Structure 1
């Protein structure tokens, strides 16, 4: 399924590292092959995205999109809450279709992680995009 010798990258198993890796994996130029095997190392194998699709289907859908257009998603704010071996991360993002181009979408990711085997793992990931009737609250916007 993935190269266990190459992944996980040491930098991808901390809270900040795993969130950064998730944005890096999905971002790139049109037609650029994404390193989905890196994504599998961050998540519980077989877990479902909250948008009701398996992670593999999300990768396939994204591959179809990025074969035609560039896609860059970056984090603009993060709030992390830790209790023992569990973490909740609120990660506000911006999406661009041209690197350093205009923002075409913004939203918030709600990410739950747990600590096991000397590293952090993504347990679930839910997101919602900003709309005209649902603006990102100031507390989640850029700091």
Structure 2
């Protein structure tokens, strides 16, 4: 009798652990995040934003990008030379993920220009960056040039190429919100 009870308990524990493992294995459904171009852009901004210490959903971040996609920051180096750096989504998470969480970071889109032809889109998205949602003044502004593809099922980010605003390179009025 004791052996039977022990076997039943062992089976129940095994089934419970197996069930929990299967729940963990189920990928999250991010299909709504990429159903429209607007949802895709909003998800891109939201996924990297959060207060200091708040974890980011890097699984969603990577889901937004077509395999082979690049993130390409551009700007001047310490010698004043214009440079670009090519990163995969994984490279971006490795190089910037920790900083975003440790410092807090909110990137807010303030203006968008969209050109679409067939299944491709080019988005010029002007942004402001803050350390906290409560900050009144951004510490940085710039423009993200985002190329996207719609494969008939969803939108994919193909590339994000961006530069920050500087005193020498101000954002033109036509890429700012209309007053």
Distance 2:165 2:117 in 1: 28
Matched, 1:25 2:59: no
User: Highest Rg: 1 or 2?
Assistant: 2
Can you give the 5+ residue segments of structure 1 that lack an aligned partner in the other structure?
Answer: none
Q: 1:117 to 1:40 in 2, by over 3 A?
A: farther
Which consecutive aligned stretches of 4+ in structure 1 deviate over 6 angstroms post-superposition? none
Q: Of Structure 1 and Structure 2, which has the larger fraction of its residues in helix?
A: 2
Distance 1:75 1:67 in 2: 20
Q: Is the 8 A contact 1:112 1:125 kept in 2?
A: yes
Match of 2:67 among 24, 40, 45: 45
Distance 2:109 2:34 in 1: 16
TM-score (norm 2): 0.73
For these two proteins, the number of residue pairs brought into alignment is 141
Alignment map for 1:1-143 (pairs within 5 Å): 5-50=27-72, 51-101=85-135, 102-143=137-178
Once the two structures are TM-superposed, the CA of residue 43 in structure 1 deviates from its matched residue by 0.8
Q: Is the 8 A contact 1:22 1:39 kept in 2?
A: yes
TM-score (norm 1): 0.91
Q: Is the 8 A contact 2:142 2:165 kept in 1?
A: yes
Q: 1:119 to 1:67 in 2, by over 3 A?
A: closer
Q: Is the 8 A contact 2:147 2:158 kept in 1?
A: yes
